[in-house]
Structure 1
């Protein structure tokens, strides 16, 4: 089985001792000096490993023998294997970063990847969740004023029995997480990482730790706060176990909620709305950004709320319709 980000196959030849040592040293650099996540390190080293295997097949045994032509031949091979433009762009970037490190650390005299270019990434908008559909999703997830207690929640062995999707505590939890995802646009990992003291009900903020361990505070609307408060009062205590810790959102067995469970919850919630696209948590993040921009929010504010390092990344989430463009033209242009 291939690792994430690697272009190698399961039967690929092993790396030479020199190349294997290079990959180990590079992975150590990414972990300890750049402090990248395990997933990112795996993706970067997987791409580099795929390249080094290709170089071996070309008969190259050291980095000093590598030319830009050899690097381009690897990208061309990847393209013939059907890799998407976005994948080719990421792999060429990974190679440039690798050779920059190799040159800086004295492992190669010149950087053959300095002039390496890759196909422009196609930026296609994901399926769009409308405001009406988002409201319908939340309405469908909302419990009645007094959820009926589940008879299985009491009696012998109740403490060891996992909750079910129909348990009142789970219903309250699912509504709260849907409201928070749509209200804040946080990533699913950021949602699952929320602790109790990260929710500031007085200032209507949640504090999250995003990519690169960067902390940010995101405003939350009243409907989401009310859903969270109700879940914390009436739902979480029924899910909590002595080892739950400070996690806000708990799984059916009382542990911190798994991102895979959150994805199932979002898919199920949207599945109850006729005509709604089949999206995961990232679809709610896109919807939050789009609906803010449709309401008149400026792009910089949305960038800050989403935790994007680059404004260009935020622009991918915008969904400006032809009708809105025509309206803006009619309002602003003197010759409209």
Structure 2
């Protein structure tokens, strides 16, 4: 058996475990696989025979070489996460007795505060699609739902007809790790979705269309990439100068709820955060805006 086959066997075992036991999304698994294959190529070039011979120094050298190639810190951190997961898997499967990645420290990531659109900018963005077309009705409904419920783009594009209860204004979402949560839909989102379902979606349906909620021109589920392109074009049409990415609407949803007095725990549940600490970053956004207002308006700051 060649070196490549030895590495491949445990790689496939690890990926299968991540999918079956942890329910990771396909795109997450694809990312892990790409990162691990890159590490395997590095090991093979250095004539490391198998996973049992891999040492922490190999991993540290690989991460260091990638740093020299100007990889982003976030990319390096993701690659290290993939290798650490595999290292633990090797121990669990009794291929090794030690976790070779244990002593390798990752790059320090500075946590950036999430940006947010103003309510006025959100209104411009949401009303920009041309609702005289099926695609425009679809785009308006998608934007309204993302801002109304704080959805991730993968959650939005993965919705089915069965996930929506327009009468009660609720939406069943499957987030990271296939975790299910129920989130409310605002009245504007419900109205936009009703228009799309009544007029827009029937014109996008093709013979092989399934229960996907948001359809492309080919009658299939709209992809994340297509939605990404759409939101950029719509932002330009709305005259918004700031770079608008899908996640910005999710950040805006959380920030505006918090500024309106919503409970942090409720926001955590709607966003699908497993850890309240992830949600708490929005309190810093609110705090920074308060500080800016204080600097601008407090009389002692004018002296």
TM-score by length of 2: 0.85
Cα distance, 1:181–1:80 mapped onto 2, change above 3 Å = same
Distance, in Å, in 2 between the alignment partners of 1:94 and 1:110 is: 17
2:253 aligned partner: 288
Distance, in Å, in 2 between the alignment partners of 1:129 and 1:108 is: 49
Give 1:142 deviation, angstroms.
6.7
Distance, in Å, in 1 between the alignment partners of 2:141 and 2:4 is: 52
* Deviating 4+ runs (over 6 angstroms): 326-329
TM-score by length of 1: 0.77
1:72 aligned partner: 60
1:118 partnered with 2:120: no
What secondary structure does 1:244 align onto?
coil
Work out whether residues 150 and 270 of structure 2, in 8 Å CA contact, stay in contact via their aligned partners in 1.
yes
What secondary structure does 1:61 align onto?
coil
Work out whether residues 169 and 186 of structure 2, in 8 Å CA contact, stay in contact via their aligned partners in 1.
yes
Structure 1, unaligned runs of 5 or more: 1-13, 148-166, 330-336
1:232 aligned partner: 197
Deviates more, 1:97-106 or 1:191-200: 191-200
1:38 partnered with 2:26: yes
What secondary structure does 2:286 align onto?
coil
Give 1:326 deviation, angstroms.
6.7
Work out whether residues 128 and 277 of structure 1, in 8 Å CA contact, stay in contact via their aligned partners in 2.
no
1:320 partnered with 2:296: no
- Over the aligned positions, Cα root-mean-square deviation in angstroms equals 2.7
2:122 aligned partner: 134
1:24-63 paired onto structure 2 within 5 Å: 24-63=12-51
1:190 partnered with 2:178: no
1:206-221 paired onto structure 2 within 5 Å: 206-221=171-186
Cα distance, 1:24–1:285 mapped onto 2, change above 3 Å = same
For 1:21-51, what per-residue CA distance to the aligned partner results, in whole angstroms no more than 9, with x for missing partners? Answer: 3323333333344443333233223323333
What secondary structure does 1:140 align onto?
coil
How many residues are paired up? Answer: 293
Work out whether residues 24 and 178 of structure 2, in 8 Å CA contact, stay in contact via their aligned partners in 1.
no
Distance, in Å, in 2 between the alignment partners of 1:214 and 1:196 is: 18
Distance, in Å, in 2 between the alignment partners of 1:39 and 1:227 is: 29
